[in-house]
Amino acid sequence: MLEIGLTGGIGSGKSTVAALLVERGASLIDADVVVREVQEPGTVVHAAIVQRWGTEVLAADQTLNRRALADRVFGDDVELAALNAIVHPAVADEMFQQRQAFAGTDATVILDIPLLVESGHVGLGGIIVVDVDPEVAVQRLVKFRSFTAGDARARIAQQASRQERLAQADVVIDNSGTLGELVIGVDSAKAWIDALERPPLDQEIKRIGSHSEN
């Protein structure tokens, strides 16, 4: 298995790039999906969240109201740290399990991890960063994902800076243009992946720290 980290700020276009890489034959492990799985009703993470923030962070069907929870924690370092301490270990465990399912195969596995730069990434074959001006990300989050501009800016401010992310990149995909231009960037990133030396099939998988956007 060759593991490639994919990261970028919220609204940068990571999910779009991930889907394009899957169309080109890669397998995907999406940290945001894992976060949702480990927070489903009946899990210890769900119980711990309700214990701390109460039932007002739940929807009528008992699933987490992620927006309500985000409103409680973003912008408050203590609350955010408390949420991360509940969620991140469970996410790291589940990510590790999912990665292990590919061990010993020749799969190319994309790890879509919003906070990869913040959480550390030992042992990956390379890092792709999707880069866009944060104000363009704000506009897209408002237009396509029903954020308010203020919420989008606050979420971006919680994450690593554009410069910190770029400093970790092996490959940068610029997403300041059209979706058609993004496809061209993804094709060249895929060519870069295909040219990488693949690790031995029996290479040990190292755990990655914490890495969700919540």
When the beta carbons of 150 and 199 are compared against ligand ADP, the nearer one is 150
Residue ranges that bind ligand ADP, judged by CB under 6 A: 8, 10-16, 140, 144-145, 175, 178-179, 182
Within 10 angstroms of residue 204's Cβ, the number of other Cβ atoms is 8
* DSSP per-residue letters across 21-75: HHHTT-EEEEHHHHHHHHTSTTSHHHHHHHHHH-GGGB-TTSSB-HHHHHHHHTT
Inter-residue contact 101 to 191 (CB < 8 Å): no
> Minimum distance from CB of 170 to ligand ADP (Å)?
18
When the beta carbons of 58 and 182 are compared against ligand ADP, the nearer one is 182
> Minimum distance from CB of 152 to ligand ADP (Å)?
10
> Minimum distance from CB of 38 to ligand ADP (Å)?
19
> Minimum distance from CB of 51 to ligand ADP (Å)?
29
- Which residue's CB atom is positioned nearest to ligand ADP? 144
Q: Are strands 126-131 and 171-174 parallel, antiparallel or unpaired?
A: parallel
